[in-house]
C-alpha cells in the first residue's frame, strides 16, 4: 500500500493498472482517489506550459474544445466530468482503459463514439517524452477535438473502415494470403491515422495550425512542427501517406496539411474505397510493425 500511495497512477509504475491487466480487465473505472499529489503536479505543469503553445499554434476547433470541456488546469481531470461536457456536443465519450487496446477494438470504439483513454500520468521527472500514451496525451491532446462535429464524424467513419477491413479479409480462403493482405491494410490505416489524427496540420486563419494530438500534447514538438525549417510540410495525398513509414521516438520530419475536416472525411471515404479495390493490399514496407494482437483482433472480428 505504501508503494501504491507513492506511485499513485504514474505510467509504468501503477499497481492498479498492473492488476487490471493481469486480471484481463481492458475497460476499467478511473480510481480517482489513487492519484498522488505528484500525479496532479505533473498534470499541472504539463497543462500550464502548453496553454501559450496552444494559443499560438493550435487550430481554432481545438481551442473551442478546451473551453467547452472546462478542463481543470491544476488537477488530473475526472473522466466522468469530461464526458458530462463532451457527450452533449457530439455523442463522444472518453472510455477508460488499462493500457494498450488491440487495433480492431480501438477502431470499433471510435465507430461507437467512444475514445479509449489511458488513466495514468507520466512521471513528474519525465514530462517531455513518453513512448506510450498517458492521460494528458489522451484528454488534453485528443479529446478537445472530439467536441467538433465534423472531426468526430471523421473518427466514426474511420472506425467503420475497420469493419470493412475485417469483412474483406474474412473472404480470403488462404490463411497466408489473408495475413499478408491484412498486415498491409493495417499498415496503411495506421500510417493514415498517424499523419492525420496524431500529427496532422490544417490551414486556418493566421496560417497553418496543428490538429493532431501528438503535436497538441507535446511541448517541444508543437512549435517545431509549425515553425522549424527542418520539417517538410505538404498537402495531404492519400497515396503518399499510406506508403510513408514513420518512427515514434523523434520529432517528425514530414507532416501533411488538410484544408479542413470535410476534406479529411473525404480522404477517409477514399481510404475505404481503395481498401475495397485492393489498393491497400501491398503498400510499401517499413514502420509501423503490426502486432500479432492487432492482426488477431481483426481476424476474430471477421468470424463473429
Give the CA diameter of the chain. 57
How far is the C-alpha of 253 from the C-alpha of 230, rounded, in Å? 7
Indicate whether 3 pLDDT > 50: no
Which residues have a Cβ under 8 Å from the Cβ of 255 and sit 6 or more positions away? 195, 199, 200, 201, 225, 231, 232, 233, 234
pLDDT per position as a tens digit, 241-256: 999 999 888 899 999 9
Q: Are 43 and 17 in contact (CB under 8 A)?
A: no
**H or E stretch including 210?**
strand 207-210
Report the pLDDT value the prediction gives residue 37, as an integer from 0 to 100: 96
pLDDT per position as a tens digit, 99-113: 999 999 999 999 999
Q: Are 59 and 202 in contact (CB under 8 A)?
A: yes
Report the pLDDT value the prediction gives residue 247, as an integer from 0 to 100: 87
Closest C-alpha among 97, 96, 108, 17 to residue 297: 108
Greater confidence, 129 or 70? 70
* Cell numbers found for residue 237: 495525398
How far is the C-alpha of 25 from the C-alpha of 116, rounded, in Å? 13
pLDDT band at 302 (very low <50, low <70, confident <90, very high): confident
Indicate whether 74 pLDDT > 60: yes
Closest C-alpha among 303, 304, 298, 300 to residue 161: 298
Report the pLDDT value the prediction gives residue 130, as an integer from 0 to 100: 72
pLDDT per position as a tens digit, 135-154: 999 999 999 999 999 999 99
235 phi, psi to nearest 5 deg: -60, 140
Which residues have a Cβ under 8 Å from the Cβ of 231 and sit 6 or more positions away? 224, 225, 251, 252, 253, 254, 255
Give the total number of structural domains in the chain: 1
If you average pLDDT over residues 196-214, what whole number do you get? Answer: 96
Indicate whether 125 pLDDT > 60: yes
Range of the domain at 213: 2-302
CA 128 to chain centroid, in Å, comes to: 18
Greater confidence, 89 or 247? 89
98's torsion region: left (phi>0), alpha (psi -120 to 50) or beta? alpha
| CATH code assigned at 233 | 1.10.800.10
No. of helices (H) and no. of strands (E), the chain: 14, 6
Closest C-alpha among 55, 59, 54 to residue 257: 59
Which residues have a Cβ under 8 Å from the Cβ of 55 and sit 6 or more positions away? 63
Report the pLDDT value the prediction gives residue 6, as an integer from 0 to 100: 53
Can you tell me whether residue 115 is helix, strand or coil?
strand
Amino acid at each position: 500500500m505504501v508503494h501504491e500511495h507513492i506511485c499513485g497512477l504514474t505510467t509504468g509504475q501503477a499497481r492498479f493498472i498492473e492488476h487490471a491487466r493481469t486480471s484481463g480487465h481492458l475497460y476499467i473505472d478511473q480510481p480517482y482517489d489513487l492519484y498522488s499529489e505528484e500525479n496532479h503536479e505533473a498534470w499541472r505543469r504539463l497543462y500550464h506550459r502548453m496553454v501559450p503553445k496552444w494559443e499560438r499554434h493550435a487550430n481554432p476547433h481545438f481551442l473551442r474544445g478546451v473551453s467547452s470541456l472546462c478542463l481543470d488546469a491544476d488537477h488530473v481531470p475526472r473522466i466522468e466530468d469530461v464526458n458530462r461536457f463532451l457527450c452533449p456536443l457530439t455523442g463522444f465519450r472518453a472510455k477508460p482503459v488499462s493500457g494498450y487496446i488491440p487495433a480492431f477494438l480501438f477502431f470499433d470504439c471510435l465507430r461507437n463514439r467512444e475514445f479509449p483513454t489511458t488513466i495514468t500520468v507520466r512521471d513528474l521527472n519525465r514530462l517531455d517524452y513518453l513512448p506510450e500514451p498517458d492521460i494528458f496525451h489522451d484528454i488534453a491532446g485528443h479529446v478537445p477535438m472530439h467536441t467538433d462535429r465534423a472531426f468526430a464524424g471523421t473518427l466514426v467513419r474511420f472506425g467503420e473502415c475497420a469493419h470493412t477491413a475485417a469483412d474483406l479479409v474474412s473472404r480470403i480462403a488462404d490463411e497466408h494470403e489473408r495475413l499478408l493482405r491484412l498486415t498491409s491494410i493495417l499498415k496503411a490505416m495506421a500510417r493514415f491515422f498517424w499523419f492525420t489524427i496524431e500529427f496532422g496540420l490544417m490551414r486556418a486563419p493566421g496560417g497553418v495550425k496543428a490538429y493532431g494530438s501528438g503535436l497538441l500534447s507535446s511541448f517541444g514538438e508543437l512549435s517545431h512542427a509549425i515553425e522549424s525549417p527542418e520539417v517538410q510540410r505538404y498537402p495531404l495525398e492519400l497515396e503518399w501517406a499510406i506508403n510513408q513509414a514513420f518512427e515514434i521516438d523523434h520529432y517528425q520530419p514530414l507532416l501533411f496539411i488538410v484544408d479542413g475536416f470535410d476534406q479529411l472525411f473525404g480522404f477517409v471515404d477514399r481510404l475505404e474505397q481503395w481498401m475495397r479495390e485492393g489498393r491497400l493490399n501491398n503498400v510499401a514496407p517499413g514502420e509501423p510493425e503490426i502486432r500479432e494482437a492487432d492482426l488477431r483482433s481483426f481476424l476474430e472480428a471477421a468470424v463473429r
